[in-house]
Amino acid sequence: MILIRVAPTPNPSARKFILDRPVLLQGKATFTNPEECGDVRLASDLFSIEGVRQVHFFENVITVTVRFDVDFDEVQDSILAVIQTRMPVHDPNFNRKNVPEKSREDLPPEVRQIEEILDRRVRPGLQGDGGDIEVIKVENQQVFVRYQGACGTCPSSTTGTLMGIESILSEELGYQVEVLPID
């Protein structure tokens, strides 16, 4: 039997399923549709549940986001059943060709600095809430980001959280930046 603790996130359409074993040994993986799952059966089977919109793996946490018109309480038991039945055969070191890790070595110094600030001051909070943030590009003091996991559809990600990230980056960089979320 796999021990699973269900925890809320700031996003009313997402919940974290915290397991007693790893789901992913390194990095993170976000799936937004069944086609992205490849041979990761745990993720693809979660998409077989009506209303599942996104699945995010990080360490020992699976964050599941459902459509806004779905009552999470009605699908939670199905999600738990999929996790219980698929985890025994799930490989937490699965082939991550669909979610390649980006090397930071080739990034421009400004982008590496932004990534370091996010790692230190922003990502721990987002990851604790079942989400994350990815820097897409930096142009003219504008940082374009993509929210992942529970953050992807969270109402606060485009308001308070975004303003907080802008404030942190501007303070640490020493100049005003604008953070813009993209899909």
Instruction: Provide the residue ranges of all domains of the chain, joining segments of one domain with +.
Output: 4-89, 109-181
Comparing 4-89 with 109-181, is the CATH topology the same? no
Confidence (pTM): 0.75
Superfamily of domain 4-89: Scaffold protein Nfu/NifU, N-terminal domain (3.30.1370.70)
**The pLDDT of residue 158:** 65
pLDDT (tens digit per residue) in 118-148: 988 888 787 777 778 888 899 999 999 988 8
Q: Is residue 88 predicted with pLDDT exceeding 70?
A: yes
pLDDT of amino acid 99: 46
Please give the mean pLDDT across all residues of the chain. 87
Supply the pLDDT for residue 157: 67
Fold of the 109-181 domain: GMP Synthetase; Chain A, domain 3 (3.30.300)
Determine the residue type at 125. Answer: G
CB atoms within 10 A of CB 125: 11
